[in-house]
Amino acid sequence: MKKSKIIAIAVVLLLVVTAAFARQKGKDCHKKGGEVVGQYRTLEMLKVLDLTEGESEDVLPIIAEIGKNRETFHFERNQTINEIEFAIKQEETSNLKELSDKLLELQKNFDKERVKLFKKLRSNLSEEQFAKFIIFNRSFGSRLHEKMSKMKKERCDE
């Protein structure tokens, strides 16, 4: 009963954000789309992990922290790669080693923090739930891409 209540709340939140996203225009549109995908991802993950209400309260903040860590890493990595690209275009290659070292350090720190967060999550889940989380992470992006491709094709076929 409690699990269905959590899923119902997540669905309502997803619908509210989706409605807001549908009306949103301009620069914030991409950001809102990412939020919708993130909420959809969390909803799907809750279904797969089959968590109790108490487990959800313990696990959701950790999952959110994992997502925030990933977003921050990708943002910082893209900024650094942009700096490298700009330096090459401007033929200012004197700081390429420094920028490359920065990129490698970002990756190292991301991996270290990710492992720490995964261990924290694992301590709050059963081994089966953690295994399902790992499998879900691998397959979610592929399944989302397939669904979006189908939606695009259906929209184009109309």
Domain-wise residue ranges, the chain: 1-50, 52-140
Residues in the chain, how many? 158
Q: Which pLDDT does position 151 carry in this prediction?
A: 80
Q: Which of helix, strand or coil describes residue 92?
A: coil
Q: Is the pLDDT of residue 119 over 90?
A: yes
Q: What is the pLDDT of residue 16?
A: 47
The 10s digit of each residue's pLDDT in 48-87 is 999 888 888 999 999 999 999 999 999 999 999 999 999 9
Let me know: does 59 contact 125? Beta carbons within 8 Å.
yes
Q: What is the pLDDT of residues 143-155, one digit of tens each?
A: 777 777 778 777 7
**List of residues 6+ apart from 13 with CB closer than 8 A:** 39
Q: Which amino acid is at 29?
A: C
CB atoms within 10 A of CB 59: 21
